[in-house]
Amino acid sequence: MKISTKGRYALRMIAELALNQENAFVSLKDIAEHQNISKKYLEQIVPMLNKSGILRTNRGNKGGYMLARPAGEITVGDILRATEGSLAPVACLEFEPNTCKRANECSTLFVWEGLYKAVTDYLDSITVQDIIDRKLNLDNSD
């Protein structure tokens, strides 16, 4: 599995919002500048995060973006599923229950199920708050 720039940039965008918002909306321009990411590229990511309930948007003079939920309730898995789609390593695990005709006789299915469980357990165990806390600890250790 390879995470695209869309997923990586979405994670950086959400971390930036969590670090810099104090009950105020943050402009996409500010996020793009702080993270050195194209504003146009972020504009492509925003609808996915908004649709998945991770972002709140506000138009107008004081418009911008903020987290829709507390940083401690948003996981890396949530963000990557919103931007990358399924995290399943093989197509037959994308839907529950597994509808593959070979599932009952597949000798390698347990390998892919184990990988999928390890990846999702790990990514769902890390919250945006964990990322922020780590960054703040690293910044304060200088």
pLDDT, residue 11, reads 98
- pLDDT tens figures, 95-134: 888 888 898 899 999 999 999 999 999 999 999 999 999 9
What are 66's strand-pairing partners?
56
pLDDT, residue 135, reads 86
- pLDDT tens figures, 58-82: 888 878 999 999 999 999 999 999 9
pLDDT, residue 1, reads 74
Predicted structure pTM score: 0.90
Q: What domains sit in the chain, N to C, each tagged with a CATH number?
A: 5-140 (1.10.10.10)
Integer Rg of the chain from CA: 18
Label residue 142 by pLDDT band (50, 70, 90).
low
Is 89 in contact with 119 (CB distance < 8 Å)? yes
- pLDDT tens figures, 1-50: 789 999 999 999 999 999 987 768 999 999 999 999 999 999 999 999 99
Is 134 in contact with 18 (CB distance < 8 Å)? no
Q: What is the chain's mean pLDDT, rounded?
A: 92
Helices (H), the chain: 5-20, 28-35, 39-51, 76-84, 109-124, 128-140
- From residue 112, alpha-carbon distances to 5, 73, 82, 89, 125 in Å are 24, 28, 21, 6, 20
pLDDT, residue 96, reads 86
